[in-house]
Amino acid sequence: MSDPHMPNSALEVHDPEILAQARAVLDMCHSGKAMQDAVIAAVKRNEQWRGEQCINLLAPEAPTSPAVRALLASEVGTRAAEGHIGKVNRWFAGTKYIDEIEALCVELLKQTFHARYADHRLVASMIGNLAVYTALTEPGDIIMSIAQPFGGHSSNRPDGPAGVRGLKIVDVPMDADELVVDLEAFRKVAPLVRPKLVALGASMTLFPFPLQAMSEIVAEWGGKIFFDGAHQIGLIAGGQFQDPLREGAAVMTGSAGKTFSGPQSGIIVWDDPNLTQAITHSIFPVLAATHQVNRVAALAVAAAEMIEFGRAYMAQIVRNAQALGAALAQRGIPVLGAHKGYTRTHQVIADVRAFGSGLDTAHLLARANIVTNKNLIPSDTAHDWDRPSGLRMGTIEVTRYGMREKEMDIIADFMARLLVEKHSPDTVLEDVIEFRQGYQTLFYNFDQGLPPE
């Protein structure tokens, strides 16, 4: 006899204790309304803690503007619209204004990236990568992508969409000291492998890729570069990173909710008309049906914000990351890429081996409301997968709250007190909360404009 309240934990991937707590909360609710209130209360607790009291340094997180947040709750999010823009291309009637919203989004994305084509229907960048593999490869094809210790993402590896597509995956050779592609090694290995696609871009990216040179190498056998700009696509929109489409990438995807600071979802852009049929078909009807028009409207506004504020916002993000890297290093916390100015993106990667693993360090910092994540770094081996040596930080959110270089010194002080001077998290916590009280307004949007100097 099985008790539905006691599922077999061996069958459950989620933490069984946390699920049991949720069941206990629901058991105490005597009405549906109480269940609703339990959900809303948890959301409020997060809003107060992460939204008002934490220094959020997670590299893939960005706070959206009030206008973007309002659109995510808009009426149009209850409407069904699948297919391509225009009367004859849709299954449903009643979409004349939805066509208008979607067309504005597509044209804004094209403008933002100076691209000939863009698509607005990706509910995640992960799906964008699957769309690229669906459109541009056949099962059994060989591609090259970056391994995880160098920042490679599962979407381009055997355990993600590339693997699901049945692709054979060879590593892009990387230089562990320079933290970039080892171009000389690539020049030797690529002609032996003759990859159909080379996926560049990574979740840990500090410096630009030798994209132009690599695209020239693979062009010899008709290979293409696919730039997975999940993290960097906002920096690219703001002109603060390399420009993949101009440097030979055939297609670029990106997360709308990382540096781009829009609703969490995906963006895809390309220039070659010969790819349009295949890419668009792989999005609809293959991988997207109803595609959340509220999200499309929010994405369109995020693109307008990028056009207006992207340059200033993204430049400050990079300056803050460089300042944070230098400030941590000065205080005895080793940072990767020191000999190259630490970073050319929004990311800073510390080697925290001396303070325990990246996992322990991230949890210690979180006790003082400083939110980061563990990360594999090039010196890690397969054994270090769960307890890697790296700590990844990003400066998107702190920048949007108006912080500049001098605030990066203050954040580095907090971290050094915890890691180097071994102060108890409770003492640092109070100071972090007080510091964060002073930064509650989001800038680089049409309500607030630029932050004060």
Ligand X SMILES: *Cc1c(COP(=O)(O)O)cnc(C)c1O
DSSP line for 367-425: HTTEE-EEE--TT--GGGSSS-SEEEEE-HHHHHTT--HHHHHHHHHHHHHHHTS---H
Residue 126 or 283: the one with the smaller Cβ distance to ligand X is 126
DSSP line for 266-285: EEEEE--HHHHHHHHHIIII
Q: Which of 134, 137, 145, 155 binds ligand X (CB under 6 A)?
A: 155
Instruction: Quote the DSSP letter at residue 155.
Output: G
Q: Does 124 bind ligand X (CB under 6 A)?
A: yes
Q: Which of 255, 347, 389, 445 binds ligand X (CB under 6 A)?
A: 255
Contacts of 247 (CB under 8 A, 6+ apart): 211, 212, 215
Residue 57 or 126: the one with the smaller Cβ distance to ligand X is 126
Least CB distance from residue 255 to ligand X, whole Å?
3
Least CB distance from residue 258 to ligand X, whole Å?
6
Tokens 């990859």 correspond to what residue?
Answer: 195
**Which amino acid, residue 220?**
E
Tokens linked to 334: 């080793």
Q: Which of 63, 83, 201, 244 binds ligand X (CB under 6 A)?
A: 201
Q: Does 369 bind ligand X (CB under 6 A)?
A: no
**Site residues for ligand X, window 45-64 (CB under 6 A)?**
60
For the range 304-308, what are the long-range contacts, defined as Cβ-Cβ under 8 Å and sequence gap of 24 or more? Answer: 304/108, 304/446, 305/65, 305/67, 305/68, 305/261, 305/262, 305/444, 305/445, 305/446, 306/112, 306/234, 306/237, 306/238, 306/260, 306/261, 307/108, 307/111, 307/112, 308/446
Q: Which of 262, 266, 394, 402 binds ligand X (CB under 6 A)?
A: 266
Q: Does 153 bind ligand X (CB under 6 A)?
A: yes
Residue 263 or 402: the one with the smaller Cβ distance to ligand X is 263
For residue 254, the surrounding DSSP H or E stretch is: strand 249-255
Q: Does 292 bind ligand X (CB under 6 A)?
A: no
Instruction: Quote the DSSP letter at residue 451.
Output: P
Stretch that binds ligand X, among 40-48, 201-209, 310-318, 371-379 (CB under 6 A): 201-209
Least CB distance from residue 256 to ligand X, whole Å?
7
Which residues share a beta bridge with 252? Answer: 227, 269
Angle between helices 16-28 and 32-48 (to 10 degrees): 130
Q: How many residues line the site for ligand X (CB under 6 A)?
A: 15
Residue 155 or 294: the one with the smaller Cβ distance to ligand X is 155
Least CB distance from residue 193 to ligand X, whole Å?
21
Q: Does 126 bind ligand X (CB under 6 A)?
A: yes
Cα separation, 137 vs 122, whole angstroms: 19
Least CB distance from residue 10 to ligand X, whole Å?
29
Least CB distance from residue 227 to ligand X, whole Å?
10
Stretch that binds ligand X, among 70-78, 207-215, 228-236, 244-252 (CB under 6 A): 228-236
Q: Which of 125, 134, 343, 361 binds ligand X (CB under 6 A)?
A: 125
- Name the site residues for ligand X (rule: CB under 6 A): 60, 124-126, 129, 153, 155, 201-203, 228, 230-231, 255, 266
